[in-house]
Amino acid sequence: MEKIREARPITIAEARAVLQASEAELDQFQRRTLDYTEKFAKLSASKARELVDKLVADFGLEEERAVQVANCMPSSIEELRVFFAGGKRRLVTTQQLSDLLALLDQYRERK
């Protein structure tokens, strides 16, 4: 059994990339997880990490919250407000949410 070398929050897209890198060696649970990540990842792994880093650096979000925002890619201010409710209360203005939404729109993959 391999030891855990590092623990940090990663996006669904990053999890997909890790699982795809060793796809031939995956057990049943890992294959199901890979299937989930392929269905629900909204960005490439590199774009998702870049977005998380910007959310942390430019908006001061905690990494865990930034990962959740990147995973969900909310498309409205109302959806975005959910990420700031409960837990550690943080006052976020509508302008800050609008700026955050503009950043998400830059990363949103067009279909």
Q: pTM of the predicted model, to two decimals? A: 0.88
Summarised one tens digit per residue, pLDDT across range 46-80 is: 999 999 999 999 999 999 999 999 999 999 999 99
- Are 46 and 70 in contact by the 8 Å Cβ rule? The answer is no
Structural domain containing residue 41: 7-111
- Site of tokens 């949103």: 108
**Local structure of residue 22 (DSSP, 8 states):** T
2 occurs within a structural domain: no
CATH number for position 88? 1.20.1250.40
Count the domains in the chain: 1
Q: Is the pLDDT of residue 104 over 90?
A: yes
pLDDT attached to residue 106: 95
1 occurs within a structural domain: no
What SS3 state is found at 6?
Answer: coil
**Of 18, 4, 84, whose CA–CA distance to 49 is shortest?**
18
pLDDT attached to residue 89: 59
DSSP string covering 46-110: HHHHHHHHHHHHHH---HHHHHHHHHH---SHHHHHGGGSSSS-----HHHHHHHHHHHHHHPPP
